[in-house]
C-alpha cells in the first residue's frame, strides 16, 4: 500500500512539473435575459467538433441560449455532431437538471410548461413525485464542486472521484413552501430535488470552453483536447474538466432574479522546457449566485498569448 502511494506521489510531482496554472487576465461576460441581441464570434463553415466540411452547418452557441448565452459561432456544427451534443448532454443539462431554475429565472419561453416537482416521502420507502404549480415550487440550485482537472494534479481518477462535494443555494421561502407540501401530504417529508449528472454537466462545460476559445482566439491558436470528450468518444472527462480551487462557491443573497455567467481564459505554463503550454478556460455558470467555478483545459497553446499575461489590461 505504502509503495503504491509513493508511486502516485511521484507521478503527482511529475505532473505538477508538467503544467502549473499561472494567474490570468479575467474576462467577465454577463449574459442576462433571452431578449438580448446575439453576437456572432465568427463564421467557421466547417464542424468545430469532427472537422467535416460537408454541410449544412448550424450555428453553435458557446454558453447555451437556455442559460442566457448570447454568443455563437456561425455555421460551426455538422448535423451529426449537433445531434450528439443536443441529445448527448445539452437536453439533459438544460431540460432536466436545470429546468426549474431556468423557469424561475425567466430563461424559458412564455409558453413553457415545465414539470415542476417536489419529492414526497423518504427515498427508501415509497418516495413519490408531486407535480406542483409555480408559486408552490421553490427556486433552489445545487451544483457540483469538482476536483481540479487531472492533467494538473496527476491524479488519474475515474469520474466518480471527480466529484469533490456539492454546493447549494436556496431562496428564503424554501422551508415555508416545503412545510406547506408536507402538511398537505399528511405530514410526510417534502423535499426539493434536482436530478444531476456531473459527467454530462462536465461535457457541457467542455463544449462551452471549446467553442468560446475558438471564438476568442481562432482554431489555429491551439491543438484541441476536447472534441472526443464532447462527442462522447472518451470517458476521460475528469482529465480536462474540473473545479477551480480559487472559486469554491459561497453564500449569496437569498433572493436573486437574474443570471450571470462568466468565461475567462488563461495559459498554464510548463515548468519543464519542451512541454506544451496549455490554454485553459475558467467558467462560472450562475455567477450571480456565487456558484462554484470550473476549469477546462482546452488544448495545447500553439502560439504565445500575450493578451493573457498577468498584468495586462483588458476585460471588464
Please report, as ranges, the residues that interact with Zn ion according to CB under 5 A. Answer: 47, 49-50, 78, 81
CB of 213 to Zn ion, least distance (A): 17
Minimal CA–CA distance to 188: which of 116, 117, 128? 128
- CB closer to Zn ion, 185 vs 234: 234
- Decide whether 78 or 213 has the Cβ nearer to Zn ion: 78
Residue with cell 453564500: 251
Report the first-to-last Cα separation within the chain, whole angstroms: 50
Closest-CA residue to 189 (of 175, 202, 199):
175
Tell me phi and psi for residue 276, to 5 degrees.
-80, 145
Give the integer Cα–Cα distance in Å for 280 and 277: 10
Q: Which is nearer to Zn ion, 67 or 78 (CB)?
A: 78
Could you give the CA distance from residue 159 to residue 239 in angstroms, rounded to a whole number? 9
Backbone angles phi, psi at 310, to 5 degrees: -60, 140
Measured from the CB atom, is 54 or 172 closer to Zn ion? Answer: 54
Closest approach of Zn ion to the CB of residue 227, in Å: 9
Cα gap 266→301, rounded to integer Å: 10
**78 vs 208, beta carbon nearer Zn ion:** 78
Which CB sits closer to Zn ion, 81 or 308?
81
CB 300 to Zn ion: min, Å: 21
Residue with cell 462557491: 249
Beta strands at 71-78 and 39-43: parallel, antiparallel or unpaired: parallel
Least distance (Å) from Zn ion to the CB of residue 303?
Answer: 25
Amino acid at each position: 500500500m505504502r509503495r503504491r502511494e509513493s508511486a502516485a506521489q511521484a507521478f503527482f510531482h511529475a505532473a505538477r512539473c508538467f503544467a502549473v496554472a499561472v494567474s490570468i487576465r479575467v474576462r467577465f461576460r454577463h449574459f442576462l435575459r433571452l431578449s438580448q441581441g446575439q453576437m456572432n464570434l465568427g463564421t467557421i463553415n466547417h464542424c468545430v467538433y469532427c472537422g467535416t466540411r460537408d454541410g449544412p452547418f448550424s450555428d453553435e452557441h458557446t454558453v447555451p441560449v437556455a442559460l442566457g448565452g448570447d454568443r455563437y459561432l456561425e455555421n460551426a456544427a455538422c448535423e451529426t455532431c449537433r445531434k450528439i451534443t443536443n441529445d448527448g448532454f445539452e437536453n439533459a443539462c438544460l431540460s432536466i437538471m436545470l429546468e426549474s431554475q431556468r423557469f424561475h429565472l425567466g430563461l424559458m419561453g412564455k409558453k413553457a410548461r415545465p414539470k415542476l416537482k417536489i419529492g414526497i416521502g423518504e427515498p427508501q420507502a415509497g418516495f413519490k413525485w408531486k407535480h406542483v404549480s409555480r408559486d408552490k415550487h421553490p427556486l433552489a440550485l445545487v451544483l457540483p464542486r469538482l476536483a481540479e482537472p487531472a492533467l494538473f494534479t496527476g491524479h488519474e481518477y475515474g469520474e466518480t472521484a471527480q466529484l469533490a462535494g456539492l454546493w447549494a443555494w436556496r431562496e428564503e421561502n424554501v422551508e415555508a413552501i416545503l412545510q406547506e407540501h408536507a402538511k398537505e401530504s399528511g405530514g410526510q417529508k417534502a423535499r426539493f430535488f434536482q436530478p444531476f449528472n456531473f459527467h454530462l454537466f462536465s461535457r457541457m462545460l467542455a463544449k462551452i470552453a471549446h467553442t468560446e476559445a475558438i471564438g476568442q482566439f481562432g482554431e489555429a491558436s491551439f491543438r484541441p483536447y476536447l472534441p472526443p470528450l464532447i462527442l462522447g468518444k472518451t470517458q476521460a472527462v475528469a482529465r480536462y474538466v474540473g473545479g477551480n480551487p480559487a472559486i469554491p462557491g459561497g453564500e449569496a443573497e437569498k433572493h436573486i432574479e437574474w443570471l450571470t455567467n462568466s468565461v475567462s481564459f488563461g495559459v498554464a505554463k510548463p515548468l519543464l522546457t519542451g512541454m506544451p503550454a496549455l490554454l485553459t478556460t475558467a467558467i462560472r455558470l450562475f455567477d450571480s449566485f456565487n456558484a462554484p467555478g470550473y476549469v477546462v483545459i482546452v488544448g495545447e497553446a500553439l502560439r504565445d498569448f500575450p493578451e493573457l499575461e498577468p498584468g495586462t489590461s483588458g476585460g471588464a
